Amino acid sequence: MTVVGRTWNRLTLPGKVVFTVVPLLAVLTVAGAVTIALVAQPVIDIIVANLAIARFVVAATVILLMTVPTAFLIIYMEMKIIALMNLRIGPDRVGPFGSLLSVVHGLKVLMKEDFTPTGADSVVFTWAPVVVYLTSVMTLLVIPFAPDGVVGASFNLGLLYFFAISGLSVVGLLMAGWSSFNKYSLLGGLRSAAQVVSYEIPLVLSVVGVIMIAGTMDLNTIVVNQSGWFTDWYVWQQPLGFLIFFIAATAEANRTPFDLTEADSEIVAGFATEYSGMRFGFFFFAEYVNVFIISALTVTLFFGGWNAPIAWPAEWAINPSINPGSLGIALLLIVLIAPLVLTLVFATPLWLISSRIKTWQALLGGFVLANMFVIGIIFGFAYIGFAWVAGLLWFMLKTYLFVFTFVWMRGTLPRVRIDQLMNFAWKWLMELAFINIFVTAGAIILIEYLRRP
């Protein structure tokens, strides 16, 4: 033991890590292989027997994991776009063009002290941000991102489920305000609940016209009904409904000019006054995830969902079931020769453009351009051959166009007063929503009457 101990003490820190980790990884690898060999088949049989449950678990996990990077991306958009609107540079230090600064903000929130006020109901105080965050995440389950089943859960009452779950955020806001043991937080929670409940009514009524036209509350069917040219989108048949929906959704998502639920100029920070650390981070992330969700639902209901603005000719589609293995030895030659040839092809113009460009610089640039070219070819093949790739691309482009609109509004519009906010909901949007329902119903009855032989 003396020899072993002396040898161990002479090792550097990396050497100690290697001699500790490598044997541990070897043991874990062997144990994992044995476990997989013994358990894999029974697990596969269980998954096959409960495929619907397994699919739901996978979909819920994917949606939960995508919310955090989505929030980081929208935070970065806010910092960069508003900076450009104000003739500022914005973040440009951390990551390419400052793109990792939003991640730093998330880590900063994670590292701050998580404090619970004296006298607060610690259980309710802790669960309030979880309720608010999960209500946002759970609504994403019914949003169809693309055709061919790229949706968490598809059922006939998907739109009803969306509004039912999103309405539960009121519970989280009231929990946060009441449990903080702070009169300002309590008043902020009550005002937040009043705002959300007030605008929830015109928000739901604004989509009744779409339901009447589509004849269903299945979001997949609503998107399919808008396929074809952009003139088939429901925004042209429901312009008033879209306007009401967009305004009410802005208030629901707590966005400018209706961001009064935690406005510093109103009551400190509203329901979030006593929150810090990651519990505040959940409220923070939920707000940005809601921006994406509201944008996605707007695209789904009024702007064709995953459908392209122009009808895609079916005869242009290619057969994606090409077997590369059928090329035989030619496939190996292509893999070996094509990268070199493409690198030289793209490097030659760079080398000829200027004598200042050295040969290795031209080859490096050619290599990068060749890779971009190959990626473009693969993406083009996937876009033409797979409907879900094209659908997902169009859905994300439309959704982030509305995200940009929300960011634009935050950098442009002033905040309204609370009395103006409430009056606008009850005295204007409610009446306009009912008018839209009556006009839509009358138009449907008239069209059916005119179509009769």
What does the pLDDT read at residue 60? 83
Q: What whole-number distance in Å separates Cα of residue 41 and Cα of residue 59?
A: 23
In the predicted model, is pLDDT for residue 427 greater than 90?
yes
Q: What whole-number distance in Å separates Cα of residue 228 and Cα of residue 397?
A: 18
The answer to which of 17-21, 147-151, 342-346, 357-361 has the lowest mean pLDDT is 17-21
In the predicted model, is pLDDT for residue 15 greater than 80?
no
Domain locations in the chain?
A: 112-314+389-451, 321-385
pLDDT band, residue 336 (cuts 50/70/90): confident
The answer to which of 136-150, 300-314, 333-347, 370-384 has the lowest mean pLDDT is 333-347
pTM over 0.75: yes
What does the pLDDT read at residue 322? 55
In angstroms, the Cα distances linking 156 to 103, 218, 220, 306 are 38, 4, 9, 19
Q: What whole-number distance in Å separates Cα of residue 325 and Cα of residue 331?
A: 7
Amino acid at 325: G
Taking alpha carbons only, the member of 251, 30, 296 closest to residue 152 is 296
pLDDT band, residue 404 (cuts 50/70/90): very high
In the predicted model, is pLDDT for residue 1 greater than 60?
no
Taking alpha carbons only, the member of 308, 290, 287 closest to residue 298 is 290
DSSP secondary structure of 332-355: HHHHHHHHHHHHHHHHHHHHHH-T
DSSP secondary structure of 23-76: HHHHHHHHHHHHHHHHHHHHHHHHHHHTHHHHHHHHHHHHHHHHHHHHHHHHHH
Please give the share of the chain, as a percent, with pLDDT higher than 70. 87
Q: What is the pLDDT of residues 353-379, one digit of tens each?
A: 777 777 777 888 888 888 888 888 878
Taking alpha carbons only, the member of 283, 233, 277, 276 closest to residue 261 is 283
Considering only residues 338 and 220, tell me which one the structure prediction assigns the higher pLDDT: 220
Cis ω before 257 (30° cut-off from 0): yes
Give residue 216's Cα distance to chain centre.
25
What does the pLDDT read at residue 266? 59
The first and second tokens of residue 154, run together, are: 């598809």
The answer to which of 28-37, 159-168, 252-261 has the lowest mean pLDDT is 28-37
Mean pLDDT for all residues in the chain: 84
Let me know: does 367 contact 361? Beta carbons within 8 Å.
Answer: no
Q: What is the pLDDT of residues 50-104, one digit of tens each?
A: 777 877 788 888 888 889 899 999 999 999 999 999 899 889 888 888 888 888 8
Residues 6+ positions from 103 with CB-CB distance below 8 Å: 72, 94, 95
The length of the chain, given as a count of residues: 453
pLDDT band, residue 415 (cuts 50/70/90): confident
In angstroms, the Cα distances linking 235 to 7, 20, 239 are 75, 63, 5
In angstroms, the Cα distances linking 26 to 14, 30, 31, 105, 440 are 18, 6, 9, 38, 68
The first and second tokens of residue 391, run together, are: 């659908």
Other CB atoms within 10 Å distance of the CB of residue 199: 25
pLDDT band, residue 380 (cuts 50/70/90): confident
Rounded to the nearest 10 degrees, what angle do helices 359-385 and 387-410 cross at? 110
pLDDT band, residue 321 (cuts 50/70/90): low
What does the pLDDT read at residue 143? 93
Task: Give start and end residues of each alpha helix (H) in 112-238.
Answer: 122-139, 158-166, 169-179, 183-206, 208-214, 219-225
Q: What whole-number distance in Å separates Cα of residue 262 and Cα of residue 280?
A: 12
Q: What angle do CA 256, 259, 264 make, to 5 degrees?
A: 120
Q: What is the pLDDT of residues 257-293, one digit of tens each?
A: 888 776 655 556 778 888 988 888 888 889 899 999 9
Main-chain phi, psi angles of 146, to 5 degrees: -165, 165
In the predicted model, is pLDDT for residue 319 greater than 70?
no
pLDDT band, residue 316 (cuts 50/70/90): low
What does the pLDDT read at residue 259? 84
What does the pLDDT read at residue 37? 67
pLDDT band, residue 8 (cuts 50/70/90): low
Q: What whole-number distance in Å separates Cα of residue 318 and Cα of residue 28?
A: 45
What does the pLDDT read at residue 11? 62
What does the pLDDT read at residue 13? 63
DSSP character at residue 415: P
In the predicted model, is pLDDT for residue 203 greater than 90?
yes
Q: What whole-number distance in Å separates Cα of residue 127 and Cα of residue 251?
A: 24
In the predicted model, is pLDDT for residue 324 greater than 60?
no
